[in-house]
């Protein structure tokens, strides 16, 4: 793997410059982890078919189980703070990283590699178990539990590699910040494209349990790659000192040493012959309480750092300038009942769309996502965020109308095929979603106060993810209340109508977003 990274670094001057600054093994690890994040579509498509075809679950039940499985992405601040380079958006090339778990509780004096190894194992073993044990993958309880563990590993790997990127940029220089972030996002996009393409092909030619085993090779590569990335324990004590509150560090340094030094000078001035002997005795006695206090303070530092980070987080989040915008983004996700799993059932059971076509539609969605990012940065970043968010929700409402037309079969009268409706609806939805996600990232970066940027940004991302999770639960409840099943989709149009109303509802609360904020630095 190191040889592959070295060969890649010698293929272009840019790659060689990056390898010289960060090292080929580190770049390989960054590319691999982000590639896996995108390639997850390869195996999660198989999970959807497992629930529908093998387990015969209803659409609402599948939606509920998937929502539960993705819950670990909503608690990312617990095991790490999300770092993101926003230099292209608001000109800050580096972000001060501060985490709750991985920074405060190192493992064997290392803060990154052990957590990365743990996350790789959590991502690896669930897929192996699902691939080799038919009873476990056929049980909804065991399947959900294993998917929760797998998502926990993926989310942990995501935040740890973000931390490693932040630290690497801080040591190499801010001129590399945009390059590393572009490399990571490009790797994820490439992984998403290949995962969507190969996922549809694999489902048409391979059993589902074989797909699970094939995908487990990627977390295994990630686990092996951790061996080649060196993390020096140097600076551990200084890092822990910085993590602890200042008064604790001052106490461990000032109190005991002062007493020992005064005793030694007193006895040295009175008796010259026995001065050295007594001085040594006094020093040995004074070191005992000093060492005891120092060890005690070091043992308390993880707890004190956790407590300090928690209270700093609460204090910052209570500020209206932070609370109001985050409340809007949270509400905008909760208000929209997510019935994507129900639409998947409809597309496969009623429209009889093949897995290969659905994979192609997701590929178009990835390209649309990148196109939406480019259009936003090129034409919309100077606009006010209120107007951009209103445009995004109105656009998503139009996509909802297209879904209603698809379910009511009104497009057939105009000679439009089902595949075109699904393909372009998916493409437009992914592109328009970027006009909501980009303002969220920009505003979150602007609102973070100095000192807790990493942890607070992680909280923002988790709030956004948690809102989406609650929206998925709401969609599952909506599908269940409308009695939508694998063979009964009569009320699906009504459910889409409720989703349409929920999409437009957050527009009325845009006053929570700062009025004059644009896509540039405020």
DSSP for 205-220 reads HS-HHHHHHHHTHHHH
Same domain, 316 and 209: no
In a domain, 250, yes or no: no
Which neighbouring-strand residues pair with 384? 518
| Region 479-495 average pLDDT | 91
Residue 316 sits in a domain whose CATH number is 1.20.1250.20
In a domain, 261, yes or no: no
CA angle 195, 198, 202 (to 5 degrees): 125
Residue 214 pLDDT > 50: yes
Where does a domain end: 210, 229, 248? Answer: 229
CA distance 28 to 4: 8
Helix/strand/coil percent split, the chain, to 5: 80, 0, 20
CA distance 419 to 350: 13
Both structure tokens of 352: 């009889």
Closest CA to 355 of 41, 56, 77, 68: 41
8 Å CB contact between 338 and 472: yes
Where does a domain end: 168, 199, 229? Answer: 229
Q: What is the percentage of the chain residues whose pLDDT exceeds 90?
A: 29
| CB-neighbour burial class of residue 441 (10 A; exposed 0-12, middle 13-18, buried 19+) | middle
User: What is each CA distance from 65 to 71, 148, 220, 469, in whole angstroms?
Assistant: 10, 10, 26, 11
User: What is each CA distance from 298 to 245, 293, 303, 309, 390, in whole angstroms?
Assistant: 11, 9, 10, 17, 51
Output phi, psi for 233, to 5 deg: -75, 0
Same domain, 361 and 473: yes
| Region 85-109 average pLDDT | 46
CA distance 225 to 295: 35
Q: Residue 189 has what pLDDT?
A: 85
Give residue 116's pLDDT band: very low, low, confident or very high (50, 70, 90). Answer: confident
Q: What is the percentage of the chain residues whose pLDDT exceeds 70?
A: 67
Give residue 462's pLDDT band: very low, low, confident or very high (50, 70, 90). Answer: confident
Both structure tokens of 464: 């956004």
CA distance 375 to 268: 77
Which neighbouring-strand residues pair with 518? 384
Same domain, 217 and 106: yes
> H-helix or E-strand containing 160?
helix 140-172
In a domain, 264, yes or no: no
8 Å CB contact between 384 and 518: yes
Check: pTM over 0.85? Answer yes or no.
no
Same domain, 363 and 225: no
Which residue in this structure is represented by tokens 């075109």? 420
In a domain, 244, yes or no: no
Q: Residue 174 has what pLDDT?
A: 58
In a domain, 291, yes or no: no
Closest CA to 31 of 43, 19, 45: 19
Q: Residue 513 has what pLDDT?
A: 86
CA distance 304 to 98: 14
Query: Of residues 333 and 522, which shows the higher confidence score?
Result: 333
Residue 341 pLDDT > 80: yes
CA distance 522 to 513: 13
Q: Residue 89 has what pLDDT?
A: 36
Same domain, 220 and 340: no
CA distance 58 to 274: 88
Both structure tokens of 60: 């609402």
Q: Residue 231 has what pLDDT?
A: 61
Count of Cβ atoms closer than 10 Å to residue 14 Cβ? 11
Where does a domain end: 229, 247, 267? Answer: 229
In a domain, 251, yes or no: no
8 Å CB contact between 168 and 26: yes
Same domain, 317 and 221: no
Q: Residue 87 has what pLDDT?
A: 38
CA distance 310 to 316: 10
Give residue 320's pLDDT band: very low, low, confident or very high (50, 70, 90). Answer: confident
Q: Residue 521 has what pLDDT?
A: 45
Residue 444 pLDDT > 50: yes
Give residue 256's pLDDT band: very low, low, confident or very high (50, 70, 90). Answer: very low
Q: Residue 91 has what pLDDT?
A: 37
Neighbour-count burial for 132-167, b at 16+ CB within 10 Å, e otherwise: eeeebbeeeeebbebbbbbbbbbbbbbbbbbbbbbb
Residue 496 pLDDT > 90: yes
Q: Residue 217 has what pLDDT?
A: 93
In a domain, 196, yes or no: yes
Residue 119 pLDDT > 80: yes
Residue 157 pLDDT > 80: yes
CA angle 27, 29, 31 (to 5 degrees): 70
Q: Residue 6 has what pLDDT?
A: 53
| Total domains in the fold of the chain | 2
CA distance 134 to 430: 35
Cα of 297 vs its chain's centroid, Å = 33
Domain region containing 443: 311-521
Q: Where are the alpha helices (DSSP H) in 448-486?
A: 453-481
Residue 372 three-state SS:
helix
CA distance 23 to 231: 12
Q: Residue 108 has what pLDDT?
A: 64
| Region 405-409 average pLDDT | 92
Both structure tokens of 435: 């006009």
Which neighbouring-strand residues pair with 246? none
First to last CA, the chain: 43
Same domain, 495 and 384: yes
CA distance 178 to 91: 10
8 Å CB contact between 513 and 321: no
Closest CA to 76 of 152, 168, 185: 152
CA distance 309 to 166: 19
| Region 258-281 average pLDDT | 42
Same domain, 224 and 325: no
Same domain, 203 and 317: no
CA distance 426 to 361: 7
In a domain, 277, yes or no: no
CA distance 386 to 511: 8
């Amino acid at each position: 793997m190191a040889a592959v990274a070295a060969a890649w670094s010698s293929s272009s001057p840019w790659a060689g410059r990056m390898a010289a600054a960060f090292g080929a093994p580190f770049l390989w690890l960054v590319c691999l982890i982000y590639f896996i994040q995108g390639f997850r579509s390869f195996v999660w498509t198989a999970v959807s078919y497992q629930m529908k075809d093998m387990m015969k679950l209803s659409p609402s039940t599948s939606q509920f189980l998937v929502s539960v499985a993705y819950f670990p992405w909503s608690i990312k601040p617990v095991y790490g703070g999300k770092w993101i380079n926003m230099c292209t958006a608001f000109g800050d090339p580096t972000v001060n990283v501060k985490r709750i778990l991985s920074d405060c509780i190192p493992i064997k004096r290392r803060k990154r590699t052990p957590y990365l190894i743990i996350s790789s194992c959590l991502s690896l073993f669930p897929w192996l178990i699902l691939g080799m044990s038919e009873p476990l993958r056929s049980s909804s309880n065991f399947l959900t539990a294993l998917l929760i563990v797998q998502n926990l590993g993926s989310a942990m790997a995501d935040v740890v590699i973000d931390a490693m990127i932040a630290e690497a940029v801080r040591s190499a220089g801010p001129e590399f910040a945009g390059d590393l972030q572009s490399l990571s996002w490009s790797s994820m996009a490439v992984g998403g494209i290949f995962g969507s393409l190969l996922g549809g092909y694999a489902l048409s030619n391979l059993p589902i349990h074989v797909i699970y085993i094939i995908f487990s090779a990627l977390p295994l590569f990630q686990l092996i790659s951790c061996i080649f990335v060196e993390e020096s324990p140097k600076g551990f004590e200084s890092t822990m000192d910085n993590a602890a509150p200042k008064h604790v560090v001052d106490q461990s340094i000032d109190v005991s040493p002062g007493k020992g030094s005064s005793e030694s000078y007193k006895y040295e001035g009175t008796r010259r012959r026995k001065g050295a002997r007594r001085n040594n005795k006094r020093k040995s006695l004074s070191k005992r309480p000093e060492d005891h206090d120092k060890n005690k303070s070091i043992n308390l530092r993880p707890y004190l750092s956790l407590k300090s980070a928690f209270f700093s987080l609460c204090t910052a989040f209570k500020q209206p300038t932070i609370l109001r915008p985050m409340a809007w983004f949270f509400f905008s996700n909760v208000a929209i009942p997510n019935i994507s799993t129900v639409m998947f059932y409809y597309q496969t059971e009623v429209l009889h769309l093949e897995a290969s076509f659905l994979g192609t539609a997701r590929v178009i969605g990835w390209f649309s996502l990148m196109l939406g990012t480019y259009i936003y940065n090129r034409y919309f970043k100077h606009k006010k965020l209120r107007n951009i968010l209103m445009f995004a929700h109105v656009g998503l409402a139009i996509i909802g109308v297209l879904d209603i037309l698809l379910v009511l079969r009104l497009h057939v009268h105009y000679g439009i095929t089902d595949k075109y409706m699904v393909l372009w609806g998916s493409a437009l939805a992914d592109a328009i979603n970027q006009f909501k996600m980009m303002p969220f990232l920009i505003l979150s970066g602007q609102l973070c106060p100095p000192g807790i940027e990493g942890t607070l940004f992680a909280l923002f991302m988790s709030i956004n993810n948690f809102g989406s999770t609650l929206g998925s639960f709401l969609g599952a409840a909506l599908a269940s209340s409308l009695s939508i099943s694998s063979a009964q989709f009569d009320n699906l149009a009504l459910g889409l109508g409720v989703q349409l109303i929920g999409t437009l509802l957050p527009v009325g609360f845009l006053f929570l977003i700062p009025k004059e904020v644009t896509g540039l630095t405020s």
